[in-house]
Amino acid sequence: MKNKSDILPLDSQPSTEESKNSLDELRKLIDKIDDELLEILAKRMKVSVKIGKIKKENNIPIEQSDRWRDLIKDRLNKAKNLNLNSNFIQKILQLIHEESVQKQNEIINK
């Protein structure tokens, strides 16, 4: 019995050079996506600062537990629909939340 590699034409198997080129292209795509993530995080932090200013002007507490609970529930549901690991997403959201709270604390304590 023949192996699959014996049946496939030689040119259908990627060469080491083709594999390297594919890997390089995929890495470039990851780099682009990472850049987009950073830009989105920067935008989100700018919005958090604006929220902090409004909270300061209106004497509103920084942490809104109902809002946070609803946000987590919604984002984890969306993550599940996108086949993303909920623990991974929860950790990311927690870090983003902590940074947002820190930014707002800086504004309120000025």
Q: For residue 95, tell me if it sits in a domain.
A: yes
Residue 9 resides in a domain: no
In a domain, 2, yes or no: no
Tens of pLDDT, residues 1-44: 445 545 555 555 667 888 878 999 999 999 999 999 999 999 99
> Under a CB-based contact definition with an 8 Å cutoff, are residues 56 and 107 in contact?
yes
Q: What pLDDT, on the 0 to 100 scale, is given for residue 16?
A: 85
| 55: in domain | yes
For residue 1, what pLDDT is reported? 47
Chain segment 79-95, per-residue pLDDT in tens: 999 999 999 999 999 99
CATH number for the domain harbouring residue 97: 1.20.59.10
Domains in the chain, number:
1
CA angle in degrees (0–180, nearest 5) for 67-101-52: 85
The reply to whether 75 falls in a domain is yes
Domain span holding position 57: 16-108
> pLDDT digits over 37-70, tens only?
999 999 999 999 999 999 999 999 999 999 999 9
Q: How many residues does the chain have?
A: 110
Q: Give a yes or no: residue 47 inside a domain.
A: yes
Query: Each residue of 24-33: pLDDT tens digit?
Result: 999 999 999 9
Please indicate, yes or no, if residue 44 is contained in any of the structural domains.
yes
Q: The whole model's pTM is what? A: 0.78
Structure tokens at 27: 């890495």
Specify the amino acid at residue 29.
L
Residue 69, domain member (yes or no): yes
- Average pLDDT score over the chain: 90
